[in-house]
Structure 1
Amino acid sequence: MKSVDESRGTMPFGGITVLLGGDFRQILPVIPYGDRSQILSACITRSRLWRIYKIFQLKKNMRLNKGNSCKEIEDLNQFAKWVLDIGDGKVNPTQNQNDSFEEDDIEVPAQFCDLNNINSVDNMIKNTFPNFLENWNNPKYLSERAILTPTNQTVGHLNSLIVDKVPGESFSYFSVDSAEDFGGTDDDLHSAFPIEYLNSINISGMPYHELKLKVGVVVMLMRNLNQSLGLCNGTRMIVTKCLKFCVECEVICGSFLGTQHFIPRIEICPSDTRMPFKLVRKQMPLQICYAMTINKSQGQSLENVGLFLPKSVFTHGQFYVAITRVTSPKGLMVFIDDDTGNPTNKTQNIVYREVFYALPTME
């Protein structure tokens, strides 16, 4: 831009207007093993560029439905206010003599919890995926619902149990794993990190070594393959054909709804890891997504959400992100386990309020 105008050489972004969009109530930058101060320091509000931005406030929840009656509109407004209060950390539990609450504890309204039944997988499927066996291959039905939970371990367990309920033959696709950029010799590498060990590694953002699929299973793309065709990270698809070295999938959401694509194996490397070598995994960039992590659900709009919390959320904005995925309060059901494994409506809502200090007060 300096060649266009000499003065632009000293201007931020060369004098070009840059539009940033985001919600500081949602999950902040992910810092592996980072503490609260490190996460806050990575936010754009701590950048020296922050003072030159002009901030526009968006005040209307565009994901929620509009409502057809006065009572529906009132319920939607109350739900929208509760969601914002959750995001701002303003929801406090009702203090009773018999209850003990810790910092960040909240009570989820009883209408969103089922306290009479154990939070079993069958109960969650019944609530989130009603009549699953009649609709297991219905793209519209599958695109509207998902179970959300904080950790990848729980996601993998739930998905494997739900896939077992899908009728049809199961196909297993195994990855080809290798290690690169190791400081020692090849002999040291193979003796210290055998193939069996590489296959057992499961890192966030990478597909599993063994990918078990069936025709009709819902999967999510984990990498940008072709943005012009809608094959972007986070695209949800349904498997329509299992071939020897790839699978055929049909997109079930977004503007490319109904289009079919072949998903091949590609080489995938973790973006950030503390391993002493670079893991290269050749596998289809897919993960089963009947259940997904709260972090991965950002950007999704769903009619039915089952939020499963065997343990409380562990960082800023996760609870807020989970409850803002729904288009109506009727579509939200929260399954919370206490320390003894029994259902409860008490959980933690972690909010780093310091991130709001650099923002203007909502009018």
Structure 2
Amino acid sequence: MKMRSILLSVLAIAVLAGCAKNNELPGDPDVNAREAVVTLRLKGNGSTRAAGVPDDLDTKNSTVNDLTVFFFDGDALVNKVYQATVTGSAVMDVKTTTSAKQAVVVANIGSDQTTTGIFASVTSRTTFMAATANLLKDGNPVQNDEKVYMSGEGTITYDATGKDGQVTIPLNFVAARIDLKVIDFSGAIGKGSVYGTHFSVASIYLMRAQRWTNFLPTGTGESLKYIAKNNRKFAGGVTWESTTTTVPTDYRVHEEYRVATIPGALTANKMENLGHWYVFDNNELDEPTVLVVKVNWKKDGTTDTPLFFNVTFNGNDQMRIRSGNTYTVNLKLNGNFKPGDGGGTGGGGEDDPDTPTVDAAVDITVTPATWTPNVINKEWN
């Protein structure tokens, strides 16, 4: 799936005006370069991650709260500037010099990280490409509905005088988003299964939510990645439940990656708008991100038997997790959850959350949007 660039023209259009000579900008590789002023037109404010899947989520995700701007001349860093924004439209000036040839923008870091923090060690483009961020900083989530990391870069074009230049920077989401829109139990209930008596949803969570990223990708097309395979780090909503695979090194458990409240009853045989999660790129076949629906089935009529209905983003069951994409998940459980002696089969669930489940029909469609959307319909019979 090709990641779609998001051109936020009102957010990241820079116009450089040649000014007086200034030799004091940090990292300036050309002491004879003239000072240049970059004008940024920005907007935005912050929020938290809402429960469920709000209707205005795409709009909120496009918010820009702050920018960190890096100016490069080849691999050399000219300077780096953090610019906080204000609510509503704003115009702000940041300084560089006319030796700057490329500009890189990172949005929504949340605070000035140029002297301490994520970008403190950035002294060149090479070291910028090595800078990383963690979805769980000090154990707390750093992404929310109006604070989603974005990044982009552009080449500065100067006019014939060499004094005035312009660069337009398209911003791309660094994260991906998984939306669990609906679990439909109509098929199971139509077979005589009774929700709350024969079966019930025990938990819904992510396992191997990829939480580590760089800020610009490498590769192109299907090979485009924001993190090297061996540098991935994972989190999940519950303590590792798989008995067939081992827990990844440095695995973090956080409530952010599970549905906090499971509905006690169904509405029209469904649960809807259950949750959404921000994750980083996991464009690999091994150690895939998995969305798990754990169901307790009273196989003997009394005792709960856990079964797992898994959406595995490994490129086989479902597409891999790639930055800039949303994955809207619609599930149907059509199997028989009556007790075993009454003909029940457990609805097609698996005994382990890390075993991909095979569904009868998968329908995936892609339509243009701010994010690149992927609709996943998964059905168990």
Q: TM-score, normalised by structure 1?
A: 0.21
Of structures 1 and 2, the one with the larger relative CO (CA 8 A, separation 6+) is 1
Higher helix share: 1
Higher strand share: 2
